[in-house]
Amino acid sequence: MISAFARGAQVLDEPRYLTTARQAADFVQTKLYRENDKTLLRTYREGESKIDGFTDDYAFFIQGLLDLYEVSFDTDWLDLATALQDTQNALFWDKKGDAYFTTTGKDPNLFLRSKKDFDGVEPSPNSVSALNLARLSWFFDNKDWHRMAEQTIDAFQLQLSRSPSSLPQMLVALDASESAPRQVVIAGKPGASDTLALLREVNNRYHPNEILILADGGPGQAYFTQKVEFFKDVHPIEDKATAYVCQNFVCQLPTNNLAVLSNLLDTGKSPPNDNSAKQDAGKQ
């Protein structure tokens, strides 16, 4: 639900949807998250939270947090997503066979730890987790997370080859893991008209293997700079919000021209008269 409202807010530019997504995420973090060990609980009723979370709870909430960041640009959601991903890896990862078990294995009443391997009405947490890992690797240029995404997909390779229709969401993750990731970084002041114009240009398109980041010149950009050196050299040009369209943080020439950005988003290349050449924006 958080993902649905966050994406709705992003595409339709509807503040009410963003408010709803934030409120839901706040509720989970406040009522169903233990800060001391960074774990999720599964149920809440009449002031009581109980039952340790399953892989599903981590996978779906992390997905919601990633989607929520890309519309709110609040790095607290990304920070929570990465913390939960680390916890999910520690509690559920199968070190011998890769991919994620459904439960932690701590319950003595369960004799067998299974892995969900079917994308039905709800996708398998392994399918969702594989895509989460790929997206997180795009945000932070983290090769370990990308490798885990590939390992999760490889664990279901036989089923994918025999019955691909049983794991459609896993195929989405496979496409993501095999694609060259694209980062679109907007350097500008949050809420400023020129920043919003660039964001609308990006959000007018459906590019699934792409992430959107705001370099706000403040705490948000500082957060990314601590993790990826590229961000220390990202800045507006001529005091105008500026877009950097990159693959693996190797970027085309930055632009604050909407027409040039449109062409970059559609073709991956600047118009010929823009004299652009591929270069590492971090070296500018």
Domains in the chain: boundaries: 2-178, 182-283
Does the pLDDT of residue 120 top 60, yes or no?
yes
Q: What's the 3-state SS for the chain?
A: CHHHHHHHHHHHCCHHHHHHHHHHHHHHHHHCEECCCCEEEEEEECCEEEEECCHHHHHHHHHHHHHHHHHHCCHHHHHHHHHHHHHHHHHHECCCCCCECCCCCCCCCCCCCCCCCCCCCCCCHHHHHHHHHHHHHHHHCCHHHHHHHHHHHHCCHHHHHHCHHHCHHHHHHHHHHHCCCEEEEEECCCCCHHHHHHHHHHHCCCCCCEEEEEECCCHHHHHHHCCCHHHHHCCCECCECEEEEEECCEECCCECCHHHHHHHHHHCCCCHHHCCCCECHHHC
Write out pLDDT tens, residues 175-213.
Answer: 999 998 899 999 999 999 999 999 999 999 999 999 999
Contact between 280 and 253 under an 8 Å Cβ cutoff? The reply is no
**pLDDT confidence band for 168 (50 / 70 / 90):** very high
**Can you give the pLDDT at residue 271?**
64
DSSP bridge pairs for 133: none
CATH of 2-178, one of 2.60.40.650, 3.40.50.970, 1.50.10.20, 2.40.50.220: 1.50.10.20
Say whether pLDDT at 137 is over 50. Answer: yes
More confident residue, 284 or 118: 118
Give the closest residue to 182 by CA, choosing from 207, 162, 205, 164.
207
pLDDT band at 270 (very low <50, low <70, confident <90, very high): low
pLDDT over 60 (residue 124): yes
Phi, psi of 149 (to 5 degrees): -60, -45
Query: Residue 230: CB partners within 8 Å, gap ≥ 6?
Result: 141, 249, 280, 281, 282
Q: Which of the two residues, 106 and 189, has the higher pLDDT score?
A: 189
For the record, the structure tokens of 110 come out as 């369960």
**CA-closest candidate to residue 145, choices 188, 81, 194:** 81
* In the chain, % of residues over pLDDT 70: 95
Q: Is 239 left (phi over 0), alpha (psi -120 to 50) or beta?
A: left
Predicted local distance difference test score (pLDDT) of residue 15: 96
